[in-house]
Amino acid sequence: MKKPLWILPLLLSGSPARADSPTPSAQQVLGHVLDSDSWGLSGASISAHATLTDKTGAKSELSFSARSKRLGPGVSESLVRFSAPAELAGAGFLQIQKQDADDERFLFLPDLKRSRRISGGLRANAFMGTDMSFADLDRRDLRDSTVSLTGSEPIEKWDCFKLEVLPKRADSQYSRVELWARKDNYVTLRMKMYDRSKSLVKVFTTLEVRRVSGQWFISKSKMVNQQQAHTTELFLDQISTSEQFSDDDFTVRALEKSR
């Protein structure tokens, strides 16, 4: 069966940027990247699953849904709810990003019957056993950074801006991030993250993109932890941009509400 026209593999989607387009600054490129909703956590409703593979080849699965609301350029509030595996069913994660203050993060586990705040010092911890950390989700290391445009490089057939990002935060797990963003839509196609000892620790790769209501989403991606030989593949199965949420949908009370 052919894929519908609105979901196409990475190599077949989008339109190349015009060769005569003016080159934006590094900060402008990063601003576009941050203001996009590539993972469906900045103004969308999604259902998704992730496949985790350890160094022995053993696999495990996570299933979850998420709703989110855009608060302003590069910031949003989101609530993620897990449905599988059984021991995580009902668990949730609330994140409220802020422009001029530390983000708020709360994790709810049904067995504890209450939520707990995730402090900035725990941002480097793995998120629910995946290769994404809390910091990867909040993107604060990109938001609070010094950025430079180091050139242009193709990823497959797509011309990309290549950025070097130096996080400013003391609690950042990364010393440096290399980022490749498509020139036509600013979707991140690849990231390389280096730890505090300047060794490559993780590589993020976009495998498929989807356009919904004129908005681009990374519908299939892979994060590889080079040091632990562990991989997380993330799939956005359903994406909707039509639902409207209020601030009341993103509170600790909403997080602890049984589903």
Q: Tell me how far apart the alpha carbons of residues 207 and 103 are, in angstroms, rounded to a whole number.
A: 29
Contact indicator for 196, 167 with CB cutoff of 8 Å = no
Residue partners of 98: CB distance under 8 A and separation at least 6: 75, 104
SS3 for 126? strand
pLDDT value, residue 36: 86
**Per-residue pLDDT tens over the stretch 118-150:** 988 899 999 999 999 999 999 999 999 999 999
Using alpha carbons, select from 47, 88, 97, 49 the residue that is nearest to residue 67. Answer: 47
Least confident of 17-31, 74-88, 197-211: 17-31
Percent of the chain whose pLDDT exceeds 70: 91
Can you point out the beta strands (E) in the chain?
Answer: 7-9, 45-53, 59-72, 75-84, 92-96, 104-109, 114-117, 145-155, 158-167, 174-182, 188-195, 200-212, 215-225, 230-240
Q: Which residue has the higher pLDDT, 258 or 9?
A: 258
* Residue 28 host element (H or E): helix 26-35
User: Mean pLDDT for the chain?
Assistant: 90
pLDDT score at 12: 35
Reported as a single tens digit per residue, the pLDDT across 142-179 is: 999 999 999 999 999 999 999 999 999 888 999 999 99
Q: Is residue 17's pLDDT more than 80?
A: no
* pLDDT above 60: residue 227: yes
Reported as a single tens digit per residue, the pLDDT across 3-16 is 333 333 343 344 44
Using CA atoms, how far apart are residues 204 and 226, in angstroms rounded to an integer? 11
Measured at the CA of 234, the angle between CA 32 and CA 255, to 5 degrees, comes to 85
pLDDT at 117: 95
Domains of the chain (ranges; CATH) run 21-256 (2.50.20.10)
Cα dihedral across residues 235, 171, 96, 119: positive or negative: positive
How big is the chain, counted in residues?
259
HSE value, Cβ hemisphere, 13 Å, CA-based, for 182: 24
Looking from the CA of 127 toward its CB, the CA atoms found within 13 Å total: 25
How far apart are alpha carbons 60 and 48 in whole angstroms?
14
Strand duo 45-53 + 158-167: pairing = unpaired
Sequence letter at residue 93: F
Side chain identity, residue 102? D
Provide mean pLDDT across the span 73-91: 95
Q: Is the pLDDT of residue 2 over 70?
A: no
Per-residue model confidence as pLDDT tens digits over 176-226: 999 999 999 999 999 999 999 999 999 999 999 999 999 999 999 999 999
